[in-house]
Structure 1
Amino acid sequence: MATPGGNRRAADEARRDAEFAAFVAGAGGRLLHSAVLLTGDPAEADRLLTAALARLYADWPGLEGDDPYDRARAELFVRYAYRPWRRPRGGPLDGLTARQRLVVTMRYFEGIGEEQTAAVLGMACERVAAIAALGGARLRSGPGRATAAARTAAR
């Protein structure tokens, strides 16, 4: 026999599922593009985004007025920053280091302010500015030069 509390719980879960599905339908494309910029690999980007969205889904009932896009974006960036190190390859940010990809994506693609970027990544604002400037300089130098500069810097 169904209890009134059980019906309410099922209705709450159905509402939560519908809200989350609507959020993913609206924001998933932009989040996936950020993930591709970070990883340079669509399959790796999909795995990264899936993990970030799974965490957001688990936290969904407790958002309490927080912007779900900001939370999903922060989770994506933190998961990328603290994942086992793998050199990103390919994509429009090829030639940038993993940290430069992260800062350039946060600052210029997502439009996150320097202070907020520094807070999410746990570094000083000056460091964020320096990384963004170096990444921007590498991008402006052209794809061939950016890759060569990255190889030279890695030596």
Structure 2
Amino acid sequence: MPGEGFEQFVRLRYTELLHTAYLLTGSVAAAEDLVQSCLLKIMPRFERVAEPMPYLRRAMVNQRTSWWRAVRRELLSSAPPELGAGDPAGAFTERSALVAELKKLPARMRAVLVLRYWEDLGEAETAAVLGCSVGSVKSQASRGLVRLRALLESGERSGR
């Protein structure tokens, strides 16, 4: 049975984990499933894991990749997780457009962008979470930003 440390960790970090999972999956339901699945994996050994957030980030990326390979399709939703009452409409619209275009990127590229710019991890930390080289993170981030900008610009021109 998990101790108070695990329960407190979940209370403090669940929303943060859910937002990351949403950006990785593109679906509220899939994000909830992803977080739940990864929390169940860490629960029995939580007290022995020195840094649970990096562990969970890597677990979420790996689990998302496994699901993608098994299903070979993405589960998408147009509704992001609850963003809070104080979120201005303009920021919500921009964030929704960004998330919509982010969904169009390949899963690995999306994971790099989410970890680097949403989670604010460094290149080395992102590489460690994804199990790849720092150079791979740099190239995926660079290409991903170029593609994301192009997608956002084409969306603005088409009047979305």
What interval of TM-score do these two structures reach, taking the shorter chain for normalisation?
0.7 to 0.9
* Mapped pair 1:18 → 2:40: no
**In the TM superposition, what are the counterparts of 1:30-45 in structure 2 within 5 Å?**
30-45=16-31
User: What is aligned with 2:133?
Assistant: 124
* Mapped pair 1:62 → 2:67: no
User: What is aligned with 1:153?
Assistant: none
Gapped regions of structure 1 (runs ≥ 5): 1-12, 147-155
**In the TM superposition, what are the counterparts of 1:1-155 in structure 2 within 5 Å?**
13=1, 16-63=2-49, 66-85=50-69, 86-88=72-74, 89=76, 92=99, 93-143=102-152, 145=154
Shift of 1:39: 0.5
Provide the C-alpha distance between the structure 2 equivalents of 1:97 and 1:82, rounded to a whole number of angstroms.
14
Gapped regions of structure 2 (runs ≥ 5): 79-98, 156-160
Contact 1:138 1:145 (8 Å CA) reproduced: no
1:88-132 per-residue CA deviation (whole Å, 9 max, x = no partner) reads 445601221111111101111111111222222222221111111
Structure label with greater radius of gyration: 1
The structure with higher relative contact order (CA 8 Å, sep 6+) is 2
Query: Which amino acid in 1 is paired with 2:133?
Result: A
Contact 1:81 1:102 (8 Å CA) reproduced: no
Provide the C-alpha distance between the structure 2 equivalents of 1:87 and 1:102, rounded to a whole number of angstroms.
16
Judging changes above 3 Å, is the alpha-carbon distance between structure 1 residues 110 and 54 closer, same or farther for their aligned structure 2 residues? same
TM-score by length of 1: 0.73
| Aligned residue pairs, count | 130
